[in-house]
Every structure is written in C-alpha cells, then in structure tokens.
Amino acid sequence: MNLPKGVAVKEVISFDVFRKAVAYKTTESWRTVPHAAVQVDLDVTEVMGCLEKAKRDPAYAGVNVTLNTVMLKVVTEGLKASPRMNAHLRYNPKNTVGELIVFDDINIAVPFLTDDSRMVTPVLKKAGEKSLRELCLAMADLRRRVANTNFELLLLEAGHRDTLEHLRRGRLGVLRRLYANVYGPRRLSFPSKSERRAYGQIPEKDRLTPDDLLTATTLVTNLGSVMRELPARIALLEVIPPQVAAFGLCAARKQPVAVQDAQGKDAVAIRWIMPVTGAADHRALDFAEASAFVKRVMGLCAKPDELFPGLA
C-alpha cells in the first residue's frame, strides 16, 4: 500500500488475533452472502412493564432479569415460528446447488464486551428449550465463563479447528492464511508454554471452549446494552456464514407514537420503542419465511404475559 506523501505516520498497528478473527469472518460474510435486511420499530412498552414487575417478584428472586435477556427469549420464540431462519446454508456458486440445514436447537451467538474493551461472541446453547428464568441464569453463567477465558488462546484454538475444517473440505487456499499467521512477517505472537499450561488447568465448565464460538445457529447483537444513551438504529448487520440470519437490537427509548384510544379515535401516546434490524442471506430466505417470525415477535411484545409465567 502506498502511503500519502508528506503525511506523518503516528504508528502502525498490526492486527492481533482478535482483529484477524473479526476481519476474516466479516470479509467472508460480505464476500459470499447477498444480504437482505429490514428495520422494525418494535413497541416494547408492555414488555418494560412486565420487566419491572419481574424484578420485584419472588419467582425471580436472585435472578438478574434484563431487557436484553427478555428480548433473547422473544427472538427464540420468533425462530420457533420461522424455523428456516435458524439454519445453516451449504451452497456451491459454480453449479448453484444449495441446501438448507434447519436446526432443532437454537444456539444464539451473543456478543460480550470484555474488560479490555474487546468484543467476543460466545454461544448461548439450546436457548429455545429454556424459560426466561433459565435464560437469565444461563446468561449469568456465560458471563462468568467469559471472565475466566484467555481469548487469545481460545481464538487460536478455534482458528485451528476452523482451518482443519476448511482443509477437510478441500479448500487449500486456507494454507496461505496459516502460513501468514505462523511464519509471515506479521505472524501472530503466541502465548508462552507456561500461560498455555496454566490456562489448561482451568476446567472447561469454568471457561469458554471453541464449541462456545463455533456452534451458533444465529446471532443476536444488542447495541443498546453497550450504549443505552445512544439514539441509533443498526443500518448494516453481517450474517456470519454458514448462518442465514442475524438480529440487531438498539436501546429502547420513549417516543411519541400515533395510537387509537378506546373510542377508536387517533391519539398520541408515549411508548417504549426499540429499533430492531434483521438481516438474512437472500440465497436462503425471502421475507415470506420471516413473516411468521415478525408476527410472533410483535405479538409477544404486545402481550408478553406468556414470557413471564408465574408473574404476580
């Protein structure tokens, strides 16, 4: 790359294993996936009301019930209504042969911000089988294991497994990536043997493993949980192949909304509105497949009682 003449360079920062992993997966996403996306202003007023009740209800004592976890539950119920969105795609662009592998398990990749301000995306497994209370406990356990994880070692292990999978499928181009990372001039610096040995002594139940990164069937990211004060909506959202759908949530904010009163007359009310973006791989999905998902999600937000069983 030719640098502009006469422009002072402050520093040159080589990609570490975090940025390499993100760059690789997002490049693969935009190179291979024809994205189709829709944005919805979701009215979560009734959800917010139930959420406040749950925080005071004995049935949820000792459980951190958050809007983020409630919306994860809403998404899982939506995916049950549109199971083809919870799938992986196999597609050969040379002969246009493709197949959709629809999963029974709903494994949601959920981004976490680490203590050093890096983003990692472990998987909340079998989310569709869990009640809201169980989802809250699973998120707390995931957060605990994130805190115990050496992410450089984890990503190296996951990258090694991903490389072997590419080789197994005959994708020899991955060898260039392997050479650059191990032998090239900007090769990765690997943790010492003592670091690897100490990390290996942590039981797998207490830390993340490659399975916690590589078994996602879909992704739900929540910009609102990082910056609640940001009045934004997600315009672009990567679908990470072979997944076929991804969802982005923004902060819920009070907004004036046109409604109808009890007499059927138009009125203006203050409602909690959450901007939600859904993106899909257009090779696998059209909006027809997503319509049941949207209807189910909107229905649960309008009448969220079934999300909070036992709520007084």
What lies within 8 Å, CB to CB, of 61 at 6+ separation is none
Please report the pLDDT score of residue 202 as a whole number: 85
Output the six-digit token pair for 179: 């050479």
Please report the pLDDT score of residue 185 as a whole number: 64
Residue 183 lies in a domain: no
Please report the pLDDT score of residue 311 as a whole number: 67
Helix spans in 90-237 (H): 132-147, 151-168, 174-182, 193-200, 211-214, 223-226
Please report the pLDDT score of residue 271 as a whole number: 96
Output the six-digit token pair for 147: 């805190």
Residue 151 lies in a domain: no
Please report the pLDDT score of residue 298 as a whole number: 96
Residue 1: DSSP 8-state: -
What total number of domains does the chain contain?
1
Please report the pLDDT score of residue 45 as a whole number: 96
Residue 108 lies in a domain: yes
Please report the pLDDT score of residue 138 as a whole number: 96
Output the six-digit token pair for 217: 């069937």
- Show pLDDT as tens, one digit a residue, over the chain (312 residues): 677 888 888 888 888 777 878 888 889 999 999 999 999 999 999 999 999 999 888 888 889 999 999 999 999 999 999 999 999 999 998 899 999 999 999 999 999 887 777 788 999 999 999 999 999 999 999 999 998 888 778 877 777 677 667 667 776 666 566 555 555 666 556 666 777 777 778 888 999 988 898 899 999 998 877 777 777 788 889 999 999 999 999 999 999 999 888 888 899 999 999 999 999 999 999 988 899 999 999 999 999 998 887 664
- Print the domain residue range for 90: 34-146+211-306
What lies within 8 Å, CB to CB, of 55 at 6+ separation is 65
* Cα distance between residue 93 and residue 310, in whole Å: 50
Please report the pLDDT score of residue 13 as a whole number: 82
Residue 14 lies in a domain: no
CATH of the domain at 109: 3.30.559.10
Please report the pLDDT score of residue 233 as a whole number: 84
Residue 173 lies in a domain: no
**108-109 and 123-124 strand pairing:** antiparallel
Please report the pLDDT score of residue 247 as a whole number: 97
Please report the pLDDT score of residue 204 as a whole number: 85
Residue 25 lies in a domain: no
Model-level pTM?
Answer: 0.85
In this structure, which amino acid lies at residue 269?
Answer: A
Residue 2 lies in a domain: no
Residue 131 lies in a domain: yes
**Closest Cα partner for 19 from 118, 107, 145, 104?**
118
Please report the pLDDT score of residue 174 as a whole number: 63
Peptide bond preceding 256: is omega within 30 degrees of 0, i.e. cis? no
